Amino acid sequence: MTQMTTPPEVVAPPEGERSPVIEMRDISITFGAVRALDRVSLRLFPGEVHALMGENGAGKSTLIKALTGVYTIDAGEVIVEGEPHEFHSPAASQEAGISTVYQEVNLVPNLTVAENMMLGREPRRFGAISVRDMNRRARRTLLHLGVDIDPRSTLDEHPIAIQQLVAIARAVDVEAKVLILDEPTSSLDADEVEKLFTVMRRLRDEGVAIVFVSHFLDQIYEIADRMTILRNGKLVEERMVAQTTQLELVRSMIGRELETLDRLDCEAPKTDAETGVPVLKAIGLGRKNSLEATDLELFEGEVVGIAGLLGSGRTELARLLFGADTADTGELTFRSERRKLRSPRHAIDRKVAFSSEDRKAEGVVGDLTVADNMLLALQASRGWLRPIPQAMRTQLVDDYIAALDIRPADPHALMRNLSGGNQQKVLLARWLITQPEILILDEPTRGIDIGAKAQIQAKVAELAAQGLSVVFISAELEEVLRLSDRLVVMRDRRKIDERVNADVSVRDVLEIIAGEAHPEPQAEPQSEGATHV
């Protein structure tokens, strides 16, 4: 990436020329060799809901953590009400009036609702915490937000949505000037979201600046006034929500990398494979608060691409197909065998392979060698009593190191010392060694260099040509379109469209995701908020 990016466009402040309560200017944060934030700016005005948008790795979490004092800023400044501030701890940020509610409820489940709201600032009488005062104050705050629960009850007696509201109640009890809500809706149902929005509107009207992170576009258009869009650690633009079409938004978030397109000279032969028995067939596959009932068919030698934003259900679907999570509803049929997947083992036994989007946490075994990492899945299938013979080990490992151009080409190198792209290739090798019939790749090219990316794409195309069925998930639409024979588009935890990939353009997909295209008959009807322009 070069330093010569065009300066991001910044729109004029909202009506009345108010001054921002918080202004973050040119913030940069570096982790080791990774530049997580590159001169990003953010302005928050009192009495607005400000959406922070971006895909995985865009830098949303990092920006929030910079503002809340969890991370230290390398360059740039934070200005609170005209005064420069430096936050070195969450406590310091809270003192400046910035309160945060994280995606996973960051409260303590074992204490009461009131205590969770008041921990660290409990009302005291004669040095002792006054439980009665605490409960009374907690109840008042909760009622103010329209939440009618007993503050004396233990937090974990309540559903996540209520816990989320308690977290907000804690945040506003300090009379916060800024309230950061980091994906508060990711596990809520529609009613609960509405409840949350009511509370948010009330707080906004009281002059609180709310930062709202959500992957649900409808929600953004329903609640947010302004938004800041990030991509790859950089600021794309700041816009008014009402003046931005969903198409523009989606395009800003996803962006495109033309280099990739140029480098991929291996065009996947598009097959019309929808004949015969599907290798894998899912009917009504779903899981509570994660994925609505979804159908999917996968034929031999076919690449099915799944397009959709983060949180659209693309990863959730992949995990259910592999048994990484267990499905609540629906059924899976492998060729002609119906099977419920209760663990990845069941899927692997049916020749399914899955490479997770979270390479570090769910793929790489860092302290083992490249060879061990490659052979892990095959060895796990054989059981520990039947080790892979040495000759076969060497053969397999050398073959795949050469075939995938893994560097360093040293089977004894420790996995954690490899670059992301090479780690990804090793993980791909891990599964190819098991000779799968179905390969599910969830963002196999995220965060790796262009060269490795093109190599992986070429490999996928080659494998499909040899008869392997592939489910390919990526946030980059070009990549999905390039590789897939058939395209599944997801949004808001469900499949909204499915079509054969013939002359489908990025723009078409963006329009489908943005809800502006007319979906093909098989898709479900669109929701109301989606037609907002």
Judged by CB under 8 A, the chain residues 83 through 102 that form the site for other proteins are 89-91, 94, 100, 102
Closest CB to other proteins among 5 and 531?
5
Q: How far is the CB of 522 from other proteins (least distance, A)?
A: 31
Which residues contact residue 65 at a Cβ distance below 8 angstroms, ignoring those fewer than 6 apart?
71
What are residue 491's phi and psi, to 5 degrees? -160, 140
Kindly state the number of chain residues that form the binding site for other proteins, as judged by CB under 8 A. 82
Cα–Cα distance, 114 to 441 (Å, whole number): 45
The stretch among 103-111, 469-477, 484-492, 509-517 that binds other proteins (CB under 8 A) is 103-111
Based on the shown chain and the rule CB under 8 A, indicate whether residue 55 belongs to the binding site for other proteins.
no
Helix (H) or strand (E) holding 375: helix 370-382
Based on the shown chain and the rule CB under 8 A, indicate whether residue 322 belongs to the binding site for other proteins.
yes
Which residues contact residue 446 at a Cβ distance below 8 angstroms, ignoring those fewer than 6 apart?
56, 57, 357, 359, 474, 475
Q: How far is the CB of 291 from other proteins (least distance, A)?
A: 18
> How far, CA to CA in Å, does 488 sit from each of 55, 79, 260, 288, 494?
19, 44, 22, 21, 10
Based on the shown chain and the rule CB under 8 A, indicate whether residue 30 belongs to the binding site for other proteins.
yes
The stretch among 104-112, 283-291, 295-303, 475-483 that binds other proteins (CB under 8 A) is 104-112
Q: Are 302 and 487 in contact (CB under 8 A)?
A: no
DSSP for 169-183, please give it.
HHHHHT--SEEEEES
Judged by CB under 8 A, which of 160, 266, 283, 388 binds other proteins? 388
Q: How far is the CB of 517 from other proteins (least distance, A)?
A: 32
Judged by CB under 8 A, which of 394, 417, 505, 531 binds other proteins? 417
Based on the shown chain and the rule CB under 8 A, indicate whether residue 408 belongs to the binding site for other proteins.
yes
The stretch among 67-75, 292-300, 454-462, 470-478 that binds other proteins (CB under 8 A) is 67-75
Judged by CB under 8 A, which of 348, 460, 477, 481 binds other proteins? 348
Nearest to 289 by CA among 257, 316, 321: 316
Q: How far is the CB of 317 from other proteins (least distance, A)?
A: 16
Closest CB to other proteins among 395 and 417?
417
| Site residues (CB under 8 A) for other proteins, limited to 238-267 | none
What are residue 24's phi and psi, to 5 degrees? -105, 125
Closest CB to other proteins among 258 and 386?
386
Q: How far is the CB of 131 from other proteins (least distance, A)?
A: 8
Judged by CB under 8 A, which of 23, 48, 55, 115 binds other proteins? 115
Q: How far is the CB of 435 from other proteins (least distance, A)?
A: 14
Helix, strand, or coil (residue 295): strand
Based on the shown chain and the rule CB under 8 A, indicate whether residue 108 belongs to the binding site for other proteins.
yes
Based on the shown chain and the rule CB under 8 A, indicate whether residue 419 belongs to the binding site for other proteins.
yes
Which residues contact residue 509 at a Cβ distance below 8 angstroms, ignoring those fewer than 6 apart?
307, 477, 480, 481, 487, 489
Please measure the distance between the N-terminal and C-terminal CA atoms of the chain and give it in whole angstroms.
33
> How far, CA to CA in Å, does 445 sit from each of 167, 250, 420, 424, 497?
36, 20, 9, 8, 24
Cα–Cα distance, 13 to 254 (Å, whole number): 25
Closest CB to other proteins among 20 and 57?
57
| Site residues (CB under 8 A) for other proteins, limited to 357-376 | 361-368, 372, 375-376
